[in-house]
Chain A
Amino acid sequence: MFRKPKIQTQGVRIRKKVKISKILLYILVAALLVFTVLPMICMVCRAFMPMTELFIYPPRIFVRHPTLQNFVDLLSSLSSSTVPFTRYIFNSLWVTIVTVFLSVVVCSMGAYGMVKHKPVGAATIFTIVIAALSFSGHVTKIPNYMIVSGVGLIDSYAALIVPSIATAYNFFLVKQFCEQLPDSLLEAARIDGAKEFRIFWTIAMPLLKSAWSTLAVFSFVSSWNDSFSPLVYIQTDSMKTLPLALQTMAGGAGVVARSGTVGAATFLTTAPTIIVYTVMKGRVMDTMAYSGIKS
């Protein structure tokens, strides 16, 4: 009779304590989230800001009167250049799609062949891969340039595509997953008379889907965002890709007058990455946690 209310109050107190700590938790996460998201919101807003709002002091984060004028300016034609912005978009898309496709095929094939067939020198190859993982591309950029120019690929799409196909990171990623492929399955297909390539394409690849879709996302991101390769390999204006075009646009004369257009261009450059990622999200997160590295 006397105990009952006492127990109840204790229960209430505990629940209350839990609630407060939970609220604190949400506040903390939300605060950290704000810091992370703010630059993105800023970018989106800047893309839609009319001229009059861009230069107000103190600067505004949120846009009051959104306008599409910046995009219109950007897409119609930039006053200083003869190349339409859509051309840069096409260049970027083409280079990225081809790079991603070839990288997925070449790296998956290599990793599969190395793990499941153990050719001579597999150990050496793996050492090379590990060594390559720890090097920044900047060390090899200069010789790469010599090779590309030696082959005569300068100022072509191939110069942007070929060097970034056989990447050590992508190879490593798929290799980790290939080791989990059951040998018995491949053996069964072999007994049924499937040819090696067919086994790879119709059995191994579907099973490695999460690995190579992660590879595809990272390959997409690095190829899409790469401003260094086009800077080095591309000379003609009409062959530039988006990041380089953006850099030229933001670095040239009359930057201030064009900051709205730059904002719009930044928005267009970043949007595809986020879209690709959200589509592939589940797989990427799993693979990331499993393999433990990124490019």
Chain B
Amino acid sequence: MADKNAKKKTMTLAQRKSLEGLIFVSPWIIGALAFFVWPLFVSIRLSFSEMISIQGFQMKWVGLENYKYLIQTSTTYMPNFLAEITNTLINTPITLVFSLIIAILVNKDIKGRGFFRTVFFIPVLLGTGYVMQQLLGSGTNQVIDLPEGLLMTLGGDFAAIVTEFLNRITEILWKSGVQIILFLAGLQGISSSLYEASRVDGATEWENFWKITLPLVTPIILLNFIYTMIDSFTDSGNKIMSDISHCFTTGSFNQGAAMGWLYFAFTFLLCGLALLIMNRFTFNQGER
């Protein structure tokens, strides 16, 4: 009898707890349902339909028509698509290398370490949207201009290459703030006893990097790789992104939705592939 009672009581308590939890979560759930889950479904439906009238958003199912249009007829979508993918595939490894180097540098015992870390992180805060484009002076006016004397001695073409190179470095550095932080966290997770042991055995810094640092930081490299790719694919300066936004002004919502889905399907595929390949090279401390 007493046992039964106790059981009943815990049940109701658990239920009550669950209910209270629901009350706590419900504002967020409502928000997420209204502005994420539902829009996601609508967006899928949009990409397979044709808008009959903007008033009340009446739609007609047209199957793969929108996707067909993008792949076969549209003159801008596929070139932009390919350009963005090449761009991402080039920039991602460079970003990773730079951010790893910076992380190792600011992880060393130097003066003003905190200051350096802060400065390398600040671009992340400014680095979204229009302000960044304004700052990096995309296209028209470049940030870094060589001094005139140097320009004369180098000659026009070569100077152009150098400026392009320097500007690209700036752009990459501006996009590696988060990666640097993640690498730093990874580096600080490596136990110093490993380095001490190898120093006793007579290993140089260079050997330490290849035999200890790099293998142990591979999980972070994988994480950063995926992060950098997604960041680059969803960058607001991205041509596909501006194409999607452009669909708002022209009112071609269906094409916009199809563009988004086609693009993100490919992004996911690429990330999955990267995950699969990189997983083979990732070193797990627990395994060996």
> Which A residues fall within an 8 A CB radius of B?
22, 25-26, 28-29, 32-33, 35-40, 42-43, 58-59, 61, 106-107, 109-114, 116-120, 122, 125, 128-129, 132, 134-136, 138-147, 162-163, 165-166, 168, 171, 196, 200, 217, 221-222, 225-228, 231-232, 243, 246-247, 250, 262, 266, 269-270, 273-274, 277-278, 281, 285, 288-290, 292-294
B284 contacts across to A, CB distance below 8 A? none
Q: Top 9 closest A-B pairs, CB basis? A: A113-B24, A166-B31, A117-B21, A110-B28, A143-B39, A119-B21, A143-B42, A140-B39, A136-B234
The complex places the Cα of A205 from the Cα of B170 at a distance, in Å, of 39
User: Closest B-chain residue to A121, C-beta based?
Assistant: B22
Can you list 18 A-B pairs, Cβ within 8 angstroms, ordered by A?
Answer: A32-B173, A35-B166, A36-B123, A39-B174, A40-B126, A59-B141, A109-B27, A128-B36, A138-B241, A138-B260, A140-B35, A147-B34, A225-B131, A226-B128, A266-B131, A270-B131, A285-B121, A289-B185
Classify the secondary structure of B's interface with A.
Answer: helix
> Which B residues fall within an 8 A CB radius of A?
17-25, 27-32, 34-40, 42-43, 46, 57, 98, 101-102, 105-106, 108, 110, 116-126, 128-131, 134-137, 141, 143-145, 147-148, 166, 169-170, 173-174, 178, 181-182, 184-185, 188, 223, 227, 230, 233-234, 236, 241, 244-245, 247-248, 253, 256-257, 260-261, 264, 268
B268 contacts across to A, CB distance below 8 A? 134
User: Closest A-chain residue to B45, C-beta based?
Assistant: A143
Q: Is the pair B128, A225 in contact by a Cβ cutoff of 8 Å?
A: yes
Q: Is the pair A134, B141 in contact by a Cβ cutoff of 8 Å?
A: no
Q: Is the pair B23, A33 in contact by a Cβ cutoff of 8 Å?
A: no
User: Closest B-chain residue to A293, C-beta based?
Assistant: B227
User: Closest B-chain residue to A31, C-beta based?
Assistant: B169
The complex places the Cα of A265 from the Cα of B186 at a distance, in Å, of 39
The complex places the Cα of A226 from the Cα of B128 at a distance, in Å, of 8
Min CB–CB distance B184 → chain A (angstroms):
7
- Choose one: A22, A146, A225; the contact of B126 (CB below 8 Å): A225
B253 contacts across to A, CB distance below 8 A? 142
For the complex with contacts A143-B39, A289-B184, 8 further pairs of A-B residues with Cβ separation under 8 Å are A114-B25, A119-B25, A134-B268, A139-B40, A139-B261, A140-B36, A140-B43, A221-B125
A228 contacts across to B, CB distance below 8 A? 129, 236, 245
Q: Is the pair B233, A39 in contact by a Cβ cutoff of 8 Å?
A: no
Q: Is the pair B144, A274 in contact by a Cβ cutoff of 8 Å?
A: no
A147 contacts across to B, CB distance below 8 A? 34-35, 38-39
- Choose one: A37, A132, A290; the contact of B32 (CB below 8 Å): A132
Q: Is the pair B24, A25 in contact by a Cβ cutoff of 8 Å?
A: no
Min CB–CB distance A90 → chain B (angstroms):
19
A289 contacts across to B, CB distance below 8 A? 181-182, 184-185, 188
Classify the secondary structure of A's interface with B.
Answer: helix
Q: Is the pair A36, B174 in contact by a Cβ cutoff of 8 Å?
A: yes
User: Closest A-chain residue to B172, C-beta based?
Assistant: A35
If A40-B135, A138-B241 touch, whether A128 touches B18 (CB-CB below 8 Å) is: no
User: Closest B-chain residue to A106, C-beta based?
Assistant: B27
User: Closest A-chain residue to B102, C-beta based?
Assistant: A32
Q: Is the pair B110, A26 in contact by a Cβ cutoff of 8 Å?
A: yes
The complex places the Cα of A119 from the Cα of B16 at a distance, in Å, of 9
If A106-B28, A117-B24, A118-B21 touch, whether A29 touches B116 (CB-CB below 8 Å) is: yes
The complex places the Cα of A294 from the Cα of B124 at a distance, in Å, of 9
B257 contacts across to A, CB distance below 8 A? 139, 142
If A147-B35, A270-B131, A277-B125 touch, whether A117 touches B20 (CB-CB below 8 Å) is: yes
B36 contacts across to A, CB distance below 8 A? 128, 132, 140, 166, 168
Q: Is the pair B230, A134 in contact by a Cβ cutoff of 8 Å?
A: yes
B105 contacts across to A, CB distance below 8 A? 25, 28-29, 32
- Choose one: A43, A142, A247, A274; the contact of B135 (CB below 8 Å): A43
A117 contacts across to B, CB distance below 8 A? 17-18, 20-22, 24
Min CB–CB distance A267 → chain B (angstroms):
10
Q: Is the pair A292, B28 in contact by a Cβ cutoff of 8 Å?
A: no
Q: Is the pair A29, B28 in contact by a Cβ cutoff of 8 Å?
A: no
B43 contacts across to A, CB distance below 8 A? 139-140, 142-143
Q: Is the pair A243, B166 in contact by a Cβ cutoff of 8 Å?
A: no
User: Closest A-chain residue to B14, C-beta based?
Assistant: A118
The complex places the Cα of A99 from the Cα of B116 at a distance, in Å, of 31
A140 contacts across to B, CB distance below 8 A? 35-36, 39-40, 43
B144 contacts across to A, CB distance below 8 A? 35, 38
The complex places the Cα of A109 from the Cα of B28 at a distance, in Å, of 8
The complex places the Cα of A227 from the Cα of B132 at a distance, in Å, of 12
